[in-house]
Chains A and B, each alone.
Chain A
């Protein structure tokens, strides 16, 4: 069977991990926001802004890590905007999120056209190279899949560990989770609900932007319009699929990416040639909707998600 050959090849899993990496960053970003009680629909636009910023910073002469940092900062700036409007002012998280996506997207395209008015095809940069981990990369199947990746992929996995550690093993994480479940209890302890939520939205938005930057600095080496192509919305579904838990969401992202890698390969098989390619391209979106339906019954939604908090109001 062709499918089994594909599933047992290391290159297939290496591709799946590569496809998962930007989703992991952005899913962790969305997860942080939502655990603190804020739905961040700015994700799609922030990923686009991050993809452009990281790539453009390197194109302008910065080293690769500085490019990632710039993307992070731009993401945090959009997070500050989103957080200011939704947390202290308590405005509709739906409307503000979409507004931030539209603003980040259009500002990115505006800046791109301004910075590169005459190019027909966007310039390329020297992207992150693969970085095989000594010894570990020698393990059969697992080695080439997990340990022959770019540094940004390792960073994505480290981010999951860091988010899980902070959320479940530190006082800050406890406060963050509490602020998404019962903000009044956090206030009663003398902590600032506004500060915690605003910080979470900024940190989360920064991660979303780094997820976008992965596309232009690791997966590809150039910036294209539409390159994020709905990945942000898919990450929102992945958070639900992962029941708002970091490791489960990571598993969801890898599973999802494996399906995506599989459809790319199936397109090249004799059976795939008979199916319109659009059907394959639809699969990620259809899968996301199916995942949402599947998980809806046992969703453990943070109790205060999308509920603004106004001090003194009960």
Chain B
């Protein structure tokens, strides 16, 4: 088997294959439903209803999409420069820890000032967490995939220590849970009475911001150049190391904002189950969006919808909600294959 690049793929190929990947994902989901002994169309219908069938469902999906937009952006920014940040989970918790550290009354600042200061501090710590693996990659050539993955475990244990030790809420009845944020540190709701907080709008703004950086600034151009061909970029005189560091800081900061927005906007305190793998799901979100920051918003909404829909469907007819995780993983694999097939021809021999 041989792969031959196609000079001009045409619209049919460019869109046909990704569409086929989505169709394959749906078929995969229906097969799983069938295996679970349920009516496939009923499962699909219940998932759609659970994700977007009511105002409550829709708001739930938007809430779930918020951290995914941040982690999706974090991954998209990093992967674009071929910095394989698989540690968004760790950076998310780093952001959450700082939010609790500064937002529980320890930092005496007037209301309107406290919120941005906490957010920036959270982002800064998240950036710092990714700086470690990025430096190891640049200085020692240590593969950042493995180090960022290992950091996820270290960070989660660190948070577990904090929640059972210095950060434990004395009023928490012995649960490993932090104290609650003071009201000034909480993200307000967008509209009174609607269960949707400002984190969602800020995530949208962040997406536009990242898009502007990537398409309208020198840094964005440099990041893409490094991602396309680091050797050529270095040869062209670009400071590859410094660009990598900047990418790491931006990516880590974005992932940390997911933790900040979850604590400040939704939960109000920190527990060890703050993130059901938002960091890892961010990889799927970013890949489905073809690493495009604006696409990340769309794919985060889609992925969030699948998860929220699956939870609701599972409560109704008992098909395990892990069907959502399985079909998102399948979607990722189908999509990378489809994107390849859209631009190459497969030849025998």
Interface residues in chain A, defined as those with a beta carbon under 8 Å from any beta carbon in chain B: 41, 81, 85, 88-92, 94-96, 98-100, 102-103, 105-107, 109-110, 113-114, 117, 194, 229-230, 233-234, 236-237, 240, 276, 278-279, 281-282, 285-286, 288-289, 292-293, 296-297, 299, 310-312
Q: How distant is B99 from chain A, measured CB to nearest CB, in Å?
A: 20
Contact B145 A105 (CB under 8 A): no
A106 with B332, Cβ < 8 A, contacts A91-B340, A276-B161, A296-B141 known: no
Q: Would you mind naming 7 contact pairs between A and B with Cβ atoms under 8 Å apart? A: A89-B3, A106-B325, A194-B1, A292-B140, A293-B140, A293-B142, A297-B140
Which residues of B, 130-182, contact A by the 8 Å Cβ criterion?
136, 140-143, 145-147, 149-151, 153-154, 157-158, 160-161, 164-165
Residues in A with CB closer than 8 Å to B328 are 102, 106
Residues of B within 8 A of A88 (CB): 1
Q: Which residues from chain B contact A229 at a C-beta distance below 8 Å?
A: 153
Q: Is the CB of B143 within 8 A of A292?
A: yes
Residue of B nearest to A287 (CB): B150
**B71-124 at interface with A (beta carbon < 8 Å):** 84, 86
A285 contact set on B, CB distance < 8 A: 150-151, 153-154, 157
Query: Could you list 12 further interchain pairs (A-B, Cβ under 8 angstroms) beyond the known A88-B1, A114-B35?
Result: A41-B145, A89-B340, A91-B337, A95-B287, A99-B329, A102-B325, A117-B318, A233-B149, A236-B146, A240-B146, A282-B158, A311-B2
A9–B150 Cα distance when bound, in Å, is: 31
Q: Is B238 an interface residue (CB 8 A)?
A: no
Task: Report whether B333 and A310 are in contact in the complex, using a CB–CB cutoff of 8 Å.
Answer: no
CB atoms of B337 and A289 under 8 A apart = no
Query: Whole-angstrom distance from the CB of B88 to the nearest CB of chain A?
Result: 12
Contact B161 A279 (CB under 8 A): yes
For chain B, the count of residues having a C-beta within 8 Å of the partner chain is 45
Contact status of A98 and B86, CB under 8 A, knowing A107-B326, A281-B157: yes
Q: How far is the CB of A249 from chain B (nearest CB, A)?
A: 15
CB-CB nearest in chain B for A276: B161
A103–B283 alpha-carbon span in the complex (Å):
13
Point out the residues of chain A lying under 8 angstroms from B161, CB to CB.
276, 278-279
Q: Are B340 and A106 in contact (CB under 8 A)?
A: no
Residues of A close to B154: CB separation below 8 A:
282, 285-286
Q: Which residues of A contact B187 (CB under 8 A)?
A: none
Contact of A293 among B136, B145, B320, B325 (CB under 8 A): B136
Q: Which of B260-287 contact A (CB under 8 A)?
A: 280, 283-284, 287
Tally of A-B residue pairs with Cβ under 8 A?
Answer: 127
CB-based closest 7 A-B pairs = A106-B325, A113-B320, A103-B329, A102-B329, A278-B161, A110-B322, A106-B326
Contacts of B141 in A (CB 8 A): 296, 299
* Known contacts A89-B340, A96-B336: A109-B322 contact under CB 8 Å: yes
Query: Is B142 touching A292 in the complex (CB atoms < 8 A)?
Result: yes
Q: CB of B323 within 8 A of chain A? A: yes
Q: How far is the CA of A282 from the CA of B143 in the complex (A)?
A: 20
Instruction: Enumerate chain B residues within 8 angstroms of A100, measured Cβ to Cβ.
Output: 329, 333
Task: Pick the residue among A102, A107, A109, A296 that contacts B332 (CB under 8 A).
Answer: A102
Contact A310 to B142, CB < 8 A, known contacts A85-B333, A106-B322, A276-B164: no
In the complex, which residues of chain B have a beta carbon less than 8 angstroms from the beta carbon of A114?
35-36, 320
Report whether A110 and B32 are in contact in the complex, using a CB–CB cutoff of 8 Å. Answer: yes
Whether B233 is near chain A, meaning CB under 8 Å from some CB there, is no
Residues of B within 8 A of A234 (CB): 150
Specify which of B86, B143, B283 lies most central, judged by the most chain A CB atoms within 10 Å of its CB. B143
Residues on B with C-beta less than 8 A from A109 are: 320, 322, 325
- Shortest CB-to-CB span from A3 to chain B, Å, is 23
- Separation of A107 and B149 alpha carbons in the complex (Å): 21
B22 in contact (CB, < 8 A):
no
Answer whether residue B330 sits at the interface, using C-beta atoms and an 8 A cutoff. yes
B225 to chain A minimum Cβ distance, whole angstroms, is: 19
Most buried by A among B32, B145, B146, B323: B146
CB distance from A187 to the nearest CB of B (A): 12
Whole-angstrom CA separation of A113 from B337 in the bound complex:
29
Contact yes or no, B333 A96, CB < 8 A: yes
Which residues does chain A contribute within 8 Å of B35, judged by CB atoms? Answer: 114
Q: What is the CA–CA distance of A286 and B157 in the complex, to the nearest angstrom?
A: 12
| A188 nearest CB across to chain B (Å) | 16
CB-CB under 8 A from A279, the residues of chain B are 161
Q: When chains A and B are docked, how far (Å) is the Cα of A91 from the Cα of B338?
A: 11
A311 to B3: give the CA distance in the assembly, Å: 8
Q: Shortest beta-carbon distance, A27 to chain B, in Å?
A: 13
In whole angstroms, what is the CA distance A312 to B345 when docked? Answer: 14
